[in-house]
Amino acid sequence: MDYLNINKDAWDKRAKLHVDSKFYDVEAFKAGKSSLNIVELEQVGNVTGKSLLHLQCHFGQDTMSLARQGARVTGVDLSTEAIEQANKLKSALGLQATFIAKDIYQFGQESTEKFDIVFTSYGVLCWLPDLDKWARTIASSLVTGGEFHLVEFHTFNDLLSGYSYFPQSEPDIEDEGTYTENCDGTKSTMVTWAHSLSEVITALISAGLTIEHFKEYPYSPYKCFEGLEYIPELGYQMLHKGQQVPLLYAIKARK
Ligand SMILES: C[S@@+](CC[C@H](N)C(=O)[O-])C[C@H]1O[C@@H](n2cnc3c(N)ncnc32)[C@H](O)[C@@H]1O
């Protein structure tokens, strides 16, 4: 199964809709608003003068927010449409950034460049079949002493929505629309893989990285799942039998 082309096609369609969505709010971004949330801002800290690789950067708002904070940024994404939109936005705003349309595994095999920071966030791991390969891509892209930052949706939420928590031999293949409010009902086939927390952590350790920080959160900045309620100043939460469900986690690791 050609999962890369199937997912590329889906993300090309999504990227076209996303640039016009309130969810991504490009107008606010153009006016100077950072697209980054407090979780990653606090974790990544000062990026001034640092070289930064953003894996699965979508159409680049987070990448360019990091550029506005002083980082020298490179964003990689499978979707040619997302990278085209990122380059348009970059030119319109006169920002410095390099965007590369490529599968991250292929990027890892071909690139010889080393970065001070590798960053990736929110809805990235489920598109990748092999987390050992993902972690080796991160390790080979970092300078010695360089930092890796991941902020990801918690797979516990997927479990409560009926998906597997533990990895399975076969991926989930489903027809879906998108999570932005301007979803036009068009569905695309998508191929995804479940990844447990232990799988993520073990992959990073096996690639030679040292985990320095791991935190789970009961609030998400994004309303992109069913059953979330907004709690002012904290974000969206989900209750299961009256108890908060973990919605995000963040990992910092060092090479
Ligand atoms: C949910 S988005 C990332 C979210 C991002 N934080 C944002 O909202 O701007 C997932 C991204 O992963 C990309 N992607 C999926 N599979 C990929 C792969 N194998 N290599 C590189 N990018 C991939 C998709 O094209 C999409 O842009």
**Whole-model pTM over 0.85:** yes
Which pLDDT band holds residue 115 (cuts at 50, 70, 90)? very high
In this prediction, residue 223 carries a pLDDT of 87
Please tell me the distance between residue 118's alpha carbon and the centre of ligand 1 in angstroms. Answer: 15
What number is the average pLDDT over the span 203-226? 94
Q: Where are the domains of the chain?
A: 3-254
**Pocket (CB within 6 angstroms of ligand 1):** 7, 11, 56, 58, 61-62, 77-79, 82, 103-104, 121-124, 127
User: Measured between alpha carbons, how far is 10 from 6 in angstroms, rounded to an integer?
Assistant: 6
Task: Share the mean pLDDT of the chain.
Answer: 96
How much of the chain, in percent, has pLDDT values that exceed 70? 100
106 with 171: CB under 8 angstroms?
no
Which of 153, 190, 194, 199 lies closest to 4, judged by CA? 190
Give the model's confidence band at 184: pLDDT under 50 very low, under 70 low, under 90 confident, else very high. Answer: confident
Q: How far is the CA of 241 from the centre of ligand 1 (A)?
A: 32
pLDDT of 5 over the 80 cut: yes
Return d(Cα 253, Cα 239) in angstroms, integer: 30
For residue 160, pLDDT over 90 is answered with no
**235 pLDDT tier (thresholds 50, 70, 90):** very high
Confidence at residue 236, expressed as pLDDT on a 0 to 100 scale: 95
Domain 3-254 CATH superfamily: Vaccinia Virus protein VP39 (3.40.50.150)
pLDDT (0 to 100) of residue 72: 98
Nearest to 44 by CA among 139, 122, 134, 116: 116
How remote is the CA of residue 117 from the centroid of ligand 1, in Å?
A: 18
